[in-house]
Structure 1
Amino acid sequence: MTQAPYAQLAVASCRMCGSVPAAPVTFRGHRGLVVLMQFLSQEGPFCRDCGLSTFRSMTSRTLVQGWWGYGSFIVTPITVLINLAKRGKVANLAPPQPNPYGPSRPPMEPGPRLLQRPMTIIGLAIPFALVLTLITLANLGS
């Protein structure tokens, strides 16, 4: 039994660069706006490099912008954990290759790792500083 010549076209290609292989993943973001919240998402499929770049930028922005609302203090860590769980789908892919059956361009640069980004460190420090401030104020009042 021979395969049809179009069988290879079913392979998912990256939505950003067109490279293969790609995995269907949706990365999420969250922005707290004091009273309101904004939920963000970026749907795949992504190749390894574009997926890591998207994961790192959305998670880093969530850690900085996600804490500033009433319910956001709960939603932000959940969003980050969901992204961390989905990261493996793209991180375990083979290096991106040009798609022989369609247009492709160079993949996105993944950039520095999540914990090597200064804004991420600031974003991680926000909840700790807030909790420390609340503990200090509670101790001053008693």
Structure 2
Amino acid sequence: MAKIALIVGSVYGGAQYVAEQAQPLLASFGHQVQLFEEAGLDEVLAYDAKCWLVITSTTGQGDIPDNLLPFYLALKNRFPLLTGKQFAVIALGDSSYDTFCGAGEQLHELLLEIQGTELAPMLRIDAGETLEPETIALPWLTQQFS
């Protein structure tokens, strides 16, 4: 099926856990999945995936997690066009903050800017509504990738 780069940005481990649950689920649908926990742009580009799946939490005032920030900045500075590549974003956040899912919003906007094709509208998961984001993310992934 598809080759998927699974790119994760995590602060306290929630997004990391969702990504670790997503990887075998996607593989069970026949996809080849590489998990990038400390994604480097060259490393992700070299993997040459058909689809980039970003799963990220938000920190501070809508900031991108430290483990994902270098990837985001490299993507923004080098601006490699993703023509022909699909992407999807799962954003974890807390709607009691004005910057709800701010990191996911920034990644989503940048991926559109560099001409990636959105596979599905961004999934926003609210920590105020669920303590187990995987219970929302995994059915969504099944719907998009099975």
TM-score (norm 1): 0.28
| Greater C-alpha Rg | 1
Structure richer in helix, relative to its length: 1
